[in-house]
Structure 1
């Protein structure tokens, strides 16, 4: 088997192995994805993403796979990275990235940052989804001293806890059990947010299937949406993540959530896919 080109990209340190399957499928089984994502025996990444044919109405289909081999419906940072790639290929600043969560329009700005329209948040309990009917503004779920989180879907399920001191929260201890809580039939991304000002939040996210990451784009969108729903923030805010800052806006005109932030290519290379378990 010939060597396969790949690209390692990241958005604020949330890193991805990017493979191109537009010409033909590569046989990316869950076991192979997990092996490639391994940071000691593989290339290492928070998610492995592949480019596939999109059909009419979009420039590319983005498939997102977690390090445990499971698929994610959406990933804001990966969408920004892929939008930048497609824009460079086509010479167009505006492109549409198709995902399992829907079509996401994106625009690459002159400074290299990328804005993605993540669409409207899904706020109903069935849309998150939750295991039973309840108000998604305040779930009956404990995490230490934090009050119950607010939940929404940004193409994938999110629960956001609002805490007075983010540095005091043992995210790595609480995250695994909360991700798999019976309330979340599809598991959930668990965010812990500290409101610094109505237009500035700090956030750490335990991502389902990936664990703690330096940045979670859809988690930042969910945090702003949930903070505004709780009356803690306005419709625009800078979300400060361990890897850097994202600008998030929950647009009043149509209810869509816009995310803006940088992207980067760390390196490119070639791999022998046959060397990884099928």
Structure 2
């Protein structure tokens, strides 16, 4: 099976062209290819498929094999893949993922996509739609007890659930200890992605992220969008901000005119190759 390894500022996935053929057991394949020691190594698997509702469909699976509705960094790489590989010659395309259609503008240099701007849609703030257990129209700086400590979280969905926690000293945070406790907290029925964010100034935010099903990743596009929305709701930032992640920077704008969040960032191809599912299964499972 042919694949392409791609990343959006370090948030890396294995991509497969499934526009003409179907991949069986994508959840299992996601677990196999994601293994960083015995597999290809990635934050998950993304399938590029045909669609009747958009130009293309993105099916995203986390490193643990669970299905994910949206990946902001991943969808930028999908745009680069389909253009660079001749599946489209358009620089404005639509991609559906998790039932929601996103619209993308591609910046092309020397025949290759270098940067992509994505209309990520309107943020979802109602607790039961995120979902998160809580009352009211939205949860802004709402208290939550995790590991016997009280944190303040602002909850946003950008197609998947996010809990944004503002704090100082994110560089020193032991995210591998606190991240899983947020992810599987009883207040999040579908688990949650958690962003730990330090405010630098009104135009810059520093963020680390613990993604459900993948652990800490170098970047999270939907998380950066959720972080910008949360910062604005808390009065910490302007409508246009730069979010600094471990893998690089994303430009986020929450537009007042249409209430949509726009994300701009790079997409890159690392390498291409082929794998045999049976041989990969033997390698990862140690058989």
Q: Which residue of the other structure, out of 68, 79, 83, is the alignment partner of 2:79?
A: 83
2:126 is matched with 124
Report the counterpart of residue 91 of structure 2 in structure 1.
93
Asked if structure 2 preserves the Cα contact closer than 8 Å seen for 1:114 and 1:261, the reply is yes
5 Å-filtered alignment, 1:131-210, equals 131-134=133-136, 135-142=138-145, 147-210=151-214
Answer yes or no: is the 8 Å Cα contact 1:188–1:207 preserved in 2: yes
- Over the aligned positions, Cα root-mean-square deviation in angstroms equals 1.7
Which of 13, 16, 20 lines up with 2:13 in the alignment? 16
Answering whether residue 254 of structure 2 is matched by residue 250 of structure 1, we say yes
Cα distance between partner residues in 1 of 2:28 and 2:101: 28
1:214 aligned residue (194, 218, 243): 218
SS of 1:91's partner is coil
Cα deviation for residue 143 of structure 1 reads 5.2
* Structure 1 residue 35, shift from structure 2 partner: 1.2
1:65, CA displacement in angstroms?
A: 0.1
Gaps of 5+ in 1: none
Q: How big is the shift at 1:139? A: 2.7
Aligned equivalent of 1:45:
42
1:78-128 CA distance string (max 9 Å, x none)? 000001122332121111111005001001114511111110100000111
Between Structure 1 and Structure 2, which shows a larger proportion of strand residues? 2
Quick one: distance in 1 between partners of 2:64 and 2:151?
30
Aligned equivalents of 2:146 and 2:240: distance in 1? 27
Query: Quick one: structure 1 residues 212 and 138, their matched pair in 2 at CA, closer, same or farther if it must change by over 3 Å?
Result: same
Number of paired residues? Answer: 274
User: Within 2, Cα distance between the matches of 1:219 and 1:227?
Assistant: 12
1-structure distance, mates of 2:35, 2:281: 12
Which residue in 1 is equivalent to 2:285? Answer: none
Conserved in 2, the CA contact under 8 Å of 1:59 and 1:86? no
Report if aligned partners of 1:74, 1:101 keep a CA contact under 8 Å in 2.
Answer: no
Say if 1:120 and 1:101 are closer, same or farther in 2 by CA, change over 3 A.
Answer: farther
Q: How many Å apart are 1:271 and its aligned residue?
A: 1.1
Show the counterpart of 2:56.
60
Q: Distance in 1 between matches of 2:28 and 2:83?
A: 31
Per the TM alignment, residue 131 of structure 1 is displaced from its structure 2 partner at its CA by 2.9
| Alpha-carbon offset, residue 245 of structure 1 | 0.5
Contact 2:144–2:150 (CA under 8 A) maintained in structure 1 = no
TM-score scaled to structure 2, two decimals?
Answer: 0.91
TM-score normalised by L of structure 1: 0.94
